[in-house]
């Protein structure tokens, strides 16, 4: 290249075979990095780190909001459509970058080799946009069809009845399964049945008599597991729950006795008489008795019966917190 010739790529004055402005090498007909003389690589702006740090994060944020508000499938569909829109908008935007030092250089559309590469990148970007658009449309269509079928199934009485019957059958099957576990001969199997019964909630009502019977088992591990299961049921689930726990407060094993008393002291909806029965069997435990005294006074207020005899009986038990609270309540009544 003559000393006063201009660059074939950027048309800037250049000396020698390498342009100092754009890095064009007239000898090899390629652009090189001005800093490290490494070859430049042409990239689509859509797939660069620059776009990922701005547009990509923006689309991800929009997707998160849509998933949070509308659901997973609408959020995914709209995000696909946003990626498609970005691909169509940026189909002709390019970035030239050094393959060695990764320094960005100016993109010169007029350079013949870059024009050829740019056409390929344009096709790739448009292909990505079309694929993203098709994916978004397909997801939206599938979501719409699924919602329509679900709405149709809800409106179909026969389908709803069949679903209710299947659900009821499944629930009955779970209860029967736990009932079999409670009657198993293997100790570990029996112990594992009690937590499963608790998980059934109100559906475990038919199992309460068997759990009450298990609270009188000869094995203290079974009695303890039964007490812990009964303590998590509401008293209304069975008339035998509270008497069974009161009975276990006389158990020879201290852990069974303590757990039975602890559950009675926190069990809701007990009558004052039931609470007093538990208090008579309770040891002087300041950690629990303070809460128990509050529960007893609250139960007395809710019962609507004559409070004075109940308070006098509680005061006579000589359990520190309960007696003190009952005596204070009696003084306020005078």
Q: 126 vs 191, which has greater pLDDT?
A: 191
Residues in the chain: 334
Looking at 130, 154, 178, the residue that finishes a domain is: 154
Q: How many helices (H) and strands (E) does the chain have?
A: 14, 5
281 CA to centre of own chain: 43
- State the total domains in the chain: 3
Answer yes or no: do 126 and 174 share one domain.
no
Query: Residue 258 and residue 240: Cα distance in Å, rounded?
Result: 19
The strand pair at 40-44 and 30-31 is best described as: unpaired
How do residues 7-59 score in pLDDT, each as one tens digit? 666 666 766 677 766 666 666 666 776 667 677 677 777 777 667 667 777 77
Burial class (CB in 10 A: 0-12, 13-18, 19+), 96: buried
Closest C-alpha among 232, 222, 320, 225 to residue 279: 320
Query: Residue 64 and residue 85: Cα distance in Å, rounded?
Result: 18
The strand pair at 24-25 and 104-105 is best described as: unpaired
How do residues 70-121 score in pLDDT, each as one tens digit? 777 888 888 888 878 887 887 777 777 776 666 666 666 655 455 556 677 7
Closest C-alpha among 148, 27, 143, 173 to residue 77: 143
Answer yes or no: do 263 and 187 share one domain.
yes
Answer yes or no: do 216 and 149 share one domain.
no
Query: Residue 197 and residue 229: Cα distance in Å, rounded?
Result: 8
How do residues 240-262 score in pLDDT, each as one tens digit? 888 888 888 888 898 898 888 77
Answer yes or no: do 144 and 236 share one domain.
no
Answer yes or no: do 150 and 173 share one domain.
no
Tell me the pLDDT band of 190, cut-offs 50, 70 and 90: very high
Domain, as residue range, for 297: 287-334
Query: Residue 206 and residue 183: Cα distance in Å, rounded?
Result: 14
Answer yes or no: do 172 and 265 share one domain.
yes
Query: Residue 114 and residue 6: Cα distance in Å, rounded?
Result: 19
Question: What's the pTM value of the predicted model, to 2 decimals?
Answer: 0.44
Query: Residue 176 and residue 163: Cα distance in Å, rounded?
Result: 20
Answer yes or no: do 243 and 137 share one domain.
no
């Amino acid at each position: 290249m003559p000393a006063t010739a201009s660059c074939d790529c950027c048309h800037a004055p250049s000396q020698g075979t390498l342009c100092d402005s754009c890095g064009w090498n007239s000898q090899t007909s390629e652009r090189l990095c001005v800093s490290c003389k490494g070859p430049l690589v042409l990239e689509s702006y859509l797939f660069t780190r620059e776009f990922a740090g701005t547009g990509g994060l923006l689309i991800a944020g929009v997707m998160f909001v849509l998933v949070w508000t509308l659901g997973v499938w609408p959020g995914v569909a709209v995000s696909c459509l946003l990626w498609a829109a970005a691909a169509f908008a940026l189909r002709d935007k390019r970035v030239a970058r050094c393959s060695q030092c990764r320094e960005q250089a100016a993109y010169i559309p007029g350079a013949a080799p870059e024009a050829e590469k740019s056409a390929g990148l344009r096709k790739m970007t448009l292909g990505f946009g079309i694929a993203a658009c098709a994916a978004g449309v397909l997801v939206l269509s599938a979501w719409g069809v699924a919602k329509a079928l679900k709405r149709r199934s809800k409106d179909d009485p026969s389908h709803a009845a069949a679903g209710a019957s299947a659900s009821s059958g499944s629930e009955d099957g779970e209860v029967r399964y736990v009932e079999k576990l409670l009657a198993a001969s293997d100790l570990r199997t029996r112990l594992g049945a009690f937590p499963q019964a608790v998980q059934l909630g109100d559906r475990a009502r038919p199992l309460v008599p068997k759990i009450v019977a298990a609270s009188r088992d000869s094995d203290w591990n079974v009695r303890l597991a039964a007490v812990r299961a009964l303590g998590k049921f509401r008293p209304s689930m069975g008339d035998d729950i509270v008497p069974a726990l009161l009975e276990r407060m006389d158990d020879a094993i201290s852990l069974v006795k303590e757990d039975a008393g602890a559950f009675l002291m926190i069990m809701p909806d007990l009558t004052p008489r039931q609470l007093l029965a538990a208090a008579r069997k309770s040891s002087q435990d300041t950690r629990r008795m303070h809460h128990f005294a509050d529960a007893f006074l609250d139960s007395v207020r809710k019962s609507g019966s004559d409070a004075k005899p109940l308070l006098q009986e509680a005061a006579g038990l000589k359990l520190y917190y309960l007696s003190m609270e009952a005596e204070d309540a009696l003084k306020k009544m005078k």
